[in-house]
Amino acid sequence: MTEICKVKSEGLIDYDDASELQKRLHGGVADGTLPNQLLLLEHPHIYTLGRRAKMSDILATDEFLSKERVRVHRTDRGGEVTYHGPGQLVAYPIVNIKRWGGGPLKFVRALEQTVIATLGELGIVANSQDCPTGVWVDDAKIAAIGVRISRGTTTHGVSLNVDPNLSFFDHIVPCGMADLKVTAISELAQDGMRIDQVIPVFVRNFGRTFGFQME
């Protein structure tokens, strides 16, 4: 029987509110009272630090953070430092991977493949690497991945640069890589692209890759 995954598009939502929503849904997905969930959203400007991140990877001055109203927040996901902001599609899959039938690595690879297939439909050739995680177009990173798994169920997920202000990445050491280049769909697609145009393509490929019925 094909597993169901419920899609929730939340628009622009504060990071803390999104975290609370994930926590509320996580328990139900973990104990089987809720189907798998896919949250799709954007965040106001924020730098998040994963479990391996160092504060020294935040290069932004206090003046910059205050002027641009950028928060700095330590999270319980894996990975290093990244940026979230308007124009970036953030997908938080809350998936019971025990029921799905895969482990952490298979889950991360499936997220990467979802993004690669999505970009392929938009005419962009992308790839993943054995290490580090994420999705790349040539030598520039277009999507970052950081997840947490507890009770066999995931939270956090993937951020895909659609049309964000990429200059915010200049004020961190993204993913712990000092020379990392970043790019966005808007820089690569002929006619540009909006998040509302990317979402249905992403949802379709997420369902195909994970074998879910998306609702």
Out of 81, 111, 175, 180, pick the active-site residue.
175
Q: Does position 29 have pLDDT exceeding 80, yes or no?
A: yes
Report the predicted TM-score, pTM, of the whole model to 2 decimal places: 0.93
Domains defined along the chain, listed by start: 4-210 (3.30.930.10)
- Alpha helices by DSSP H, listed for the chain, are 15-31, 62-68, 97-100, 104-121, 185-188, 195-210
175 is catalytic: yes
Mean pLDDT computed over every residue of the chain: 92
Number of H helices, E strands in the chain: 6, 11
Q: Does position 52 have pLDDT exceeding 90, yes or no?
A: no
Q: Does position 50 have pLDDT exceeding 90, yes or no?
A: no
Q: What is the pLDDT of residues 54-76, one digit of tens each?
A: 788 888 899 999 999 999 988 87
Per-residue confidence band for 167, with pLDDT thresholds at 50, 70 and 90: very high
Per-residue confidence band for 177, with pLDDT thresholds at 50, 70 and 90: low
User: Cα separation of 100 and 163, whole Å?
Assistant: 32
